[in-house]
Structure 1
Amino acid sequence: MHVVISQFVVANKMDEDVRDAFRNRPHLVDDAPGFIRMEVISPVDEPEMFWLMTYWQDYTSFESWHRSHLYQASHVGMPKGLKLVPGQNKVTHYNHICS
């Protein structure tokens, strides 16, 4: 299994709007080939920080999704005017060992 973690920090006090956007997301990734699940977490003491974790059967499945038009469409629900802290965005790829 391949895991992708995207980390970002909201710069302009829109963290609750981002939470709502994730809760009400269009679920476009759910039917992507190789997609397993998605989790979004935020530290209790840093509510403006988000970790988006997606689980895939393999790296190729993730890459196909990331290059698709549906990937772009899946971000349409993000709040207008959202600003992220520069230099705090990070995408990391992992090999899943066990659960």
Structure 2
Amino acid sequence: MRSAFVAMSRFAVVSDTVEAVKAAFRDRPGLVEEADGFLRLDVISPEEAPEEIWLITYWRDRESFLRWHHSPAHKASHRLIPRGLKLDRRRTGITYFEHVTD
């Protein structure tokens, strides 16, 4: 992959909806794939902390990510979030990276 911008979001589910959240990601509508500048999405969960979910998105550049993040399509992509979802705010965040090499 050529040089790119990477955004990694992470959150920890503290309600009993962990499996429903993971299922929602598997069944998601795929709206981000249509965003200009989008390259790839990985959704992962650490074995030692299965209540955590990390979203790693790869973009052509920061501007492409920011356009997506502030778009109506981004908001629409969250419609399948299970009811009753509660997050641990101390374990929620987003980090930006420069993708240096494969």
- TM range, smaller chain: over 0.9
Opposite residue 42 of structure 2, the aligned amino acid is: E
Match of 2:28 among 25, 30, 35: 25
- Post-superposition CA distance 1:31-81 (Å, at most 9, x none): 100000100000112110111000000000000001100000000011011
Flag structure 2 segments of 5+ consecutive residues without an equivalent.
none
* Aligned pairs for 1:14-93 within 5 A: 14-93=17-96
Q: Is the 8 A contact 1:6 1:90 kept in 2?
A: yes
> After TM superposition, which residue ranges in structure 1, 4 or more long, deviate above 6 angstroms?
none
CA distance in 2, matches of 1:13, 1:44: 17
CA distance in 1, matches of 2:88, 2:16: 11
Backbone CA RMSD of aligned residues:
0.6
* TM-score (ref. length: structure 1): 0.97
- Matches of 2:51 and 2:17, distance apart in 1: 8
Secondary structure, aligned partner of 1:87: helix
Structure 1: 5+ residue runs without aligned partners?
A: none
Shift of 1:98: 0.4
What residue number does 1:6 align with? Answer: 9
Q: 2:62, 2:33 → 1: CA distance? A: 16
